[in-house]
Amino acid sequence: MRKTIYSITASLLLFPTFASAQEPLKLKNPLADAGVTSIPDLINGIANFIAFQIAPPIITIMVLWGAFKMLTAGGNESKFQEGKKTITYAIIGAAAVLLASGITSLIKNFLQAGVNP
């Protein structure tokens, strides 16, 4: 009997929405202030953030690192080629990031093409 009273009291204290006839709990979308109201908007925002905020500094560092390797090769052909590969891969990575952000926009436009406003 005591356990039942304790459990009822605990449930009334811990879950007051069940104990009274209040309105249901309404949660606010934390991303609505940023203009994100749907999943495609969220994906597009993430892709744009990566493409225009994170990737440029990394690409710059990689190009500078490749140039440093080439300058400090000192006639060693393998180190010079290693620096050249680093710069090439940095440029390929930059193209991939820009294409990825463009592809998300294309997918978003394709998915919204069938929706009648």
The 10s digit of each residue's pLDDT in 16-35 is: 555 455 677 777 777 777 77
Name the average pLDDT for the chain: 80
**Long-range contacts from 26-33, C-beta under 8 angstroms, 24+ separation:** none
| pLDDT tens digits, 31-78 | 777 778 777 778 778 888 888 899 999 999 999 999 999 999 999 999
Domain boundaries, the chain: 32-113
Q: What is the pLDDT of residues 76-103, one digit of tens each?
A: 999 999 999 999 999 999 999 888 877 8
pLDDT, position 16: 54
The burial of 40, by beta-carbon neighbours within 10 Å (0-12 exposed, 13-18 middle, 19 or more buried), is given as middle
